[in-house]
Amino acid sequence: METLKKFTFISPSFFTIIVISFFMSFFTRQCSDKKIMTINGNDFVFGKEFKMQDPMSGKVKTQKIPPSIWAIIPFALSVIGIGIFFINTNLKFVIAVVLSIVSIISLIILKNNLNSEIEGQGGGMVSIELVPQIGYYISMIGL
């Protein structure tokens, strides 16, 4: 138990970094290696409306990204993870591990859901892909 007390600074700082990473770019949407738009993690948590130009027709379209439960879960659990270390309990490291595992699973599901939504949007003519960015990678590594 004494060795665990040496690492008490690690988990709250990691959870803080994860919360900050949600304000960084999470994914870039690309069409034939041309960046269409960049989406932050907080766009998935709170939802956002984008105006973007259709690469095929040139018309401006409005696209709404609704809040995703798979992004809300790791964001909320990271905030809870920060707070858990202010509570005096011996289980805080076990709780931190459980919060991290659930958050990692949620982020993987978020990426897979987004990839499956984007697959059919090219109409078979162009390839539209979702490329993870620094915020996504920091949140995955930090957990």
CA-to-CA separations, 83 to 12, 13, 87, 105, in angstroms, rounded: 8, 11, 7, 21
Number of continuous H segments (helices) and E segments (strands) in the chain: 6, 5
Q: pLDDT tier at 30 (50, 70, 90 boundaries)?
A: confident
> pTM of this prediction?
0.79
- 67-122, pLDDT tens digit by residue? 999 999 999 999 998 888 888 777 888 888 888 889 999 999 998 888 887 776 65
CA distances from 139 to 67, 68, 74 (A): 18, 16, 9
Backbone angles phi, psi at 71, to 5 degrees: -95, -30
Bridge partners, 40 (sequence order): 25
Specify whether the CB–CB gap between 121 and 128 falls below 8 A.
Answer: yes
- What is the DSSP track for 77-134? HHHHHHHHTTS--TTHHHHHHHHHHHHHHHHHHHHHHHHHHHHGGGTTTS-EEEEE-H
SS3 74: helix
